[in-house]
Structure 1
Amino acid sequence: MPDRPPYMPTGIGMGMLIDDESKLGVLIFETAEGNFDFAINLQAVEVLTKALNKIELELRSGKTH
């Protein structure tokens, strides 16, 4: 378990950062403690997608460890 409780999102937003050479997505987690913004590229999207799919499977299984 973490040393402290995790932040619980109260909302999620998204945006894009675009310049002449690159394009990044911005994932915004809104929490009671403030917003946390993360810039992500396609590789990060793939990693996050896999992680979220694993979390979803665990949550849907109803099993506790």
Structure 2
Amino acid sequence: MADRPPYMPTGIGMGMLEDDKAKVGVLIFETAEGNFDFAINQQAIEVIRKALSKIETHLAGGKISGMN
């Protein structure tokens, strides 16, 4: 586990970045310590979706298999 408490989001935003070669989404987590911006592509969206589903299951009291 981390050696310090995790940042707790106070808000969330999104945006898009695009140039001639690539298009990515930007996920913006607002916290009391400042904003954290993450560029994400389609593959990252699927990974995040699966991770959130596992967290949701765990918080609801279910069992998680295959969690690293």
Q: Does TM-score exceed 0.5, indicating one fold?
A: yes
Count the aligned residue pairs. Answer: 63
User: Equivalents in 2 of 1:55, 1:14: separation in Å?
Assistant: 21
Structure 2: runs of 5 or more not aligned: 64-68
Partner-residue secondary structure (3-state), 1:27? strand
Which stretches of structure 1, 4 residues or more, deviate above 6 A after TM superposition? none
Name the structure with the higher helix share. Answer: 1
User: Equivalents in 2 of 1:60, 1:16: separation in Å?
Assistant: 32
Superposition RMSD in Å: 1.4
Q: Percent identity?
A: 78
Counterpart of 2:38 in structure 1 is: 38
The TM-score with structure 2 as length reference comes to 0.87
